[in-house]
Chains A and B, each alone.
Chain A
Amino acid sequence: MFRNNYDNDSVTYSPTGRLFQVEYALEAIKQGSAAVGLASKTHVVLVGLKRNAEELGSYQKKLIKIDDHMGVALAGLAPDARVLSNFLRKQAMNSKMVFNRPLSVSKAVYSIADKAQQNTQSYGSRPYGVGLLVSGYDDTGAHLYEFQPSGSVLEYYGASIGARSQAARTYLERNLEKIRDCETPEELIVHGLNALRDTLSQDVELTFKNTSVSIVGKDTKFTTYDDEDVQQWLDKLDSVTNSTHRDEDDDEEAGDNAEDQDVTEDRMETDE
């Protein structure tokens, strides 16, 4: 029997204990364009690569503000992201209303994690088809979380989701110490754009039209930069095209990255 019988809904385990529908939902994230998040000790930056469906169409938004101290980047089904971010906005307003304080970032992410989990344990609804990077600044400092449709959330110093995001992850891992020690938000944004640049395919470059940048942190409200406002950050880069394509004659670099791209591990969240 070739057909996989265990992948029709999210209430059926496979004989090995996997939930294929949930894993497929994680694949939906990879259909979306890349988003990268990274945190220094005081700030969190999100950057995203926007896509337009056609030349004359507008670009799909990648960054959504939740509150003055919090915002998300998305990859995957944008409508699902809107549902989740509207929910987050409600939570944030509720925290102000009831406790007179901004919603803590961990509480925020766990609220959508629990919401997403419900869709993986009952028939008749599908899991969310979107991954989120949640950035925020609260009493305990700057935080970056990755949210997945499985209902898993994990806190990272640097994370990336969406198409070819492994390349960005590689950049983040290699530059982790520099990123953690960033003194100024500007440095952090440049690192973010460098990582995002590594996800580009050969014929694409970062432009002020397809790049979104946001920052939040100490004494910095969540701010997004789009269109003309992004140019100031692009100007700080040494190049706006993917370095792996640029240095194609540099065997070591290219080989290294190709290897990274092979790592397409399925990351349905168990704790292993």
Chain B
Amino acid sequence: MVTVRSESNLKNATMNHDPFAWGRPDDNVYGKYNQSIAQAKNNELDAFPKMHTQQPIITGTSVLGIKYKNGIIMAADNIGSYGSLLRFSNIERIIKVGSETVVGVSGDISDFQQLERILEELVISEENYDNQGENNLRAPHVHEYLTRVLYNRRNKMNPLWNSIIVGGFDNDKTPFLKYIDLLGVTYGSSTLATGFGSYLAIPLLRKLIPDDKDYSNIEEEDAKKVIQECMRVLFYRDARSGEKFTLVTVNDEGVKFEKDVEVTGQSWEFAKNLVGYGSKQL
């Protein structure tokens, strides 16, 4: 349609004066409004009833946990990856919950931050509201609570994309260490690891504690040493891992955070023997 516009025509005809479409572009001038653009329909997505998280975005890699005779040790590095991009290098993924429990989280960082909020709310309501010394929030309670949160989210097909290790003390004051993942699956062991660590670290940890109950013979130093070793191996092989990590010890003296611990004793001697990857060709 070709319209000849005079000055006055432009002024008057561009706006729709119909009371039900007041102020909208005049159909006579611009043609009928395309509704589908306004509603930003995406037919591919609309084919699903609803779409929730399909993948993690910023991620943290392995968390390691080990029991020893007086408590537990947990470690996680400080990297937040965006795919293969090292996006953040200052993320603390182990948090203290209540007075004697720690929670280490790998997987999606924004979901981890949501968990942080949920746990803070839990601590306030459990430890501050009318507390008369009872109800100390212990590791098994935090663990059960997180399991319910993750399992419920999975049943809504909207999971929190994480693997979690909860460490602290059981009701009988013995060391407590259990794992939860985005499906709501949970298990406990004297040695635990999430993500890549479950392939690379678990065998090394189990070399120290072959049988689950043997943790009671393990000294803190030996446990620490094997965690250090695991972090080194992970740094060698896990491309999403970092060189600095946080090491947390929970024992009868309380919870101790050691930050910016470095992977020690590195030797890249083996690298020269690696061929077939990257630029070096056979």
Contacts and interface: CB of A to CB of B under 8 A. Distances in A.
A104 B138 CA distance: 14
Interface residues of A, number: 12
Query: 6 closest A-B pairs (Cβ-Cβ)?
Result: A100-B144, A140-B134, A99-B141, A104-B134, A139-B134, A104-B135
A110 to B, nearest CB: 7
B140 interface: yes
Given A100-B144, A106-B134, 6 more contacts: A99-B141, A99-B144, A100-B143, A107-B135, A139-B136, A140-B133
B144 to A, nearest CB: 4
Contact of B148 (A97, A107, A138): A97
B100 to A, nearest CB: 14
Q: What size tier do the contact residues of chain B reach?
A: 10 to 19
A23 to B, nearest CB: 26
Contacts of A140: 132-134
Interface string B163-204: 000000001000000000000000000000000000000000
A138 B145 contact: no
Contacts of A100: 140-141, 143-144
Nearest to A143: B134
Interface in A127-176: 138-140
B258 interface: no
A267 interface: no
A217 to B, nearest CB: 16
Nearest to B149: A98
B171 A101 contact: yes
B130 interface: yes
Interface in A16-43: none
A98 B130 CA distance: 20
Nearest to B126: A99
Contacts, number: 29
A99 B132 contact: no
Interface of A: 97-101, 104, 106-107, 110, 138-140
B148 A101 contact: no
A104 B141 CA distance: 13
B144 A98 contact: yes
Contacts of A138: 134
A84 B8 CA distance: 77
Contacts of B133: 140
Nearest to A138: B134
B134 A99 contact: no
Interface string B74-117: 00000000000000000000000000000000000000000000
Contacts of A99: 141, 144-145
Contacts of A106: 130, 132, 134
Nearest to B171: A101
A70 to B, nearest CB: 13
A153 B171 CA distance: 28
Given A99-B145, A101-B141, A110 B134 contact: no
A85 B266 CA distance: 63
A36 B140 CA distance: 36
Nearest to B147: A100
